[in-house]
């Protein structure tokens, strides 16, 4: 059987759940080999995995948020049971863009979320003892980062 997973989903099932194995030809890959392979395949893998792992560990079903202009969307029990509750935008504490530029990118996502009856979470990766989240060279370094969630809502005040 062929199962198609995102890199984050696959790594979570290897590392956190220990329920699948990944092979390169006939050779089974270790957790570290998978981490290196996935990190080299996608330059955003580490930051995406940190956020993916954070929300999966909290019990959310995490899926791609591209359809809603975000990084991820979060489901309570899965897409077959409910609509997604949140759109997640990944942010890093050493983000090079200015606050004004970031808000110009976030405001349209908030409007999309409101139209789709979802809320927006900005998930910021905070590093501890390393210079950036890219300092997470192995999955064993995941304890060097944490995630801060900010719920963003658009308020409309009527004069009625």
- Between strands 86-92 and 119-127, the pairing is parallel
Determine which of 11-25, 45-59, 60-74, 77-91 has the lowest per-residue pLDDT on average. Answer: 77-91
Q: Could you read off the pLDDT of 17-49 as tens digits, one per residue?
A: 999 999 999 999 999 999 999 999 999 999 999
The answer to whether 91 and 102 have CB atoms below 8 angstroms apart is yes
Question: Residue 62 — very low, low, confident or very high, per pLDDT cuts 50/70/90?
Answer: very high
So what's the pLDDT on residue 100? 58
Provide φ and ψ at 23, rounded to 5°. -120, 145
Q: What is the mean pLDDT of residues 124-136?
A: 79
CATH code for 7-152? 3.40.1350.10
Active site amino acids = 75, 83, 118
- The residues spanned by each domain of the chain are 7-152
Please determine, for residue 137, whether its predicted confidence score (pLDDT) is greater than 90.
no
């Amino acid at each position: 059987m062929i199962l198609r997973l995102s890199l984050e989903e696959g790594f979570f099932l290897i590392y956190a759940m220990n329920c699948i194995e990944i092979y390169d030809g006939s050779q089974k890959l270790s957790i570290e080999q998978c981490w290196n392979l996935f990190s080299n395949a996608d330059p955003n893998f580490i930051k995406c995995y940190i956020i993916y792992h954070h929300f999966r560990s909290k019990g959310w079903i995490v899926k791609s948020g591209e359809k809603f202009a975000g990084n991820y969307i979060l489901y309570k029990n899965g897409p077959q049971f409910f609509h997604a509750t949140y759109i997640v935008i990944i942010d890093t504490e050493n983000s090079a863009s200015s606050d004004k530029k970031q808000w110009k990118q976030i405001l349209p996502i908030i409007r999309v979320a409101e139209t789709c009856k979802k809320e927006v979470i900005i998930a910021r990766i905070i590093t501890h003892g390393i210079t950036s989240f890219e300092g997470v060279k192995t999955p064993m370094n995941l304890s060097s980062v944490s995630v801060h969630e900010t719920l963003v809502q658009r308020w409309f005040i009527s004069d009625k």
